[in-house]
Structure 1
Amino acid sequence: MDHTLSALVQIDLDGAYVRLLVTGCVTEASQPALYPLIRRARALSPPVTVTVDLTVDLTAAEHVEVVGVDLLRWAVDHDKSMGGAGPVKILLPDELPDHPPRRPG
C-alpha cells in the first residue's frame, strides 16, 4: 500500500477557524509529515486575542493507524513553540479504517 497523505487547508473568512482536511494514509511513518502542516495552519491565525479553532479532519483518510494518531496528538500537545495558540481538535472516522469492527461469534 502506498502510504501517502494529502492535506487541504480551509480558512474561515472571519478568521474563526482553520481546518486541515487530510486524505490518504495517516500512519506512524507518515504522521511526521503532517505535523509541520499543523504548525503552519496554527500560525495562520491572526495575531489577536481571539483564539482560532484548528481542526485536523481525518474522517476522509483511507487508512489511519492508531499509533500514528497517538504520536500526532502527543506532538501537538507538547509543542512549546506555539505558546498561546488555540487547541487542535483531531476528528477521526467512526471506525478507524485499519481496525474494522469485530463481528460477534
Structure 2
Amino acid sequence: MGPKIAVVVQVDLDGRQVRIVVTGAVTEINQQGLCPVIGRARRLVPGIRVVVDLRPAESVEPAAVDLLRWSAEHENAAAGAQKVEFLLADRGAAPATTIPGTTRPVGLPVAHEARRAEVTA
C-alpha cells in the first residue's frame, strides 16, 4: 500500500464556499482520489468558491499539485464555476499547530523533522 490521504469537506451554510482539507501524504498517484471530490464540490451551487487546503498534509509532491491544478482547469465544471484555489504550506515558516503525539508541525515533511532533530541534538 502506498501513502494515504484523508479528506474533510467543509461546506459553508450559506453555500458560498467549500473547503477541502487534505491530510496525509499527497502523491502523484493518490491525488487522483481528490479530483472527483473537487468536481462534486464545484457542482454543488453555481458560482461556489472551492478551496483545497493542502497545508495540513504531511508532504505534498509538486507533481501532484500540478496534476490537481490541471484537472481542476480542464474538468467540466458547472456553469459559472469559479477557479479552484489551492493553499500550500510555506515551507519557510513553521505552522502553529503540531500533529498529536509528535513535535512535528503539521505540513512539514518527515524528512524535515529528521534534519531538525539532527541540528538540535
Q: Is the 8 A contact 2:42 2:78 kept in 1?
A: no
Q: Is the 8 A contact 1:56 1:89 kept in 2?
A: yes
Structure 1 stretches of 4+ with a deviation exceeding 2 A read: 96-100
Unaligned runs of at least 5 residues, structure 1: 101-105
Give the number of equivalent residue pairs.
95
TM-score computed with the length of structure 1 as normaliser: 0.81
Match of 2:73 among 71, 77, 84: 77
Report the equivalent of 2:33: 33
Q: Which has the higher contact order (CA 8 A, sep 6+)?
A: 1
Identity %: 45
CA RMSD of aligned residues (A): 2.0
1:47-62 equivalence runs, <5 A: 47=46, 51-62=47-58
Residues in 2 aligned to 1:73 and 1:31: alpha-carbon distance in whole angstroms: 11
Shift of 1:97: 4.2
1:10-21 equivalence runs, <5 A: 10-21=10-21
Shift of 1:86: 1.4
Shift of 1:2: 4.7
| Greater strand share, structure number | 1
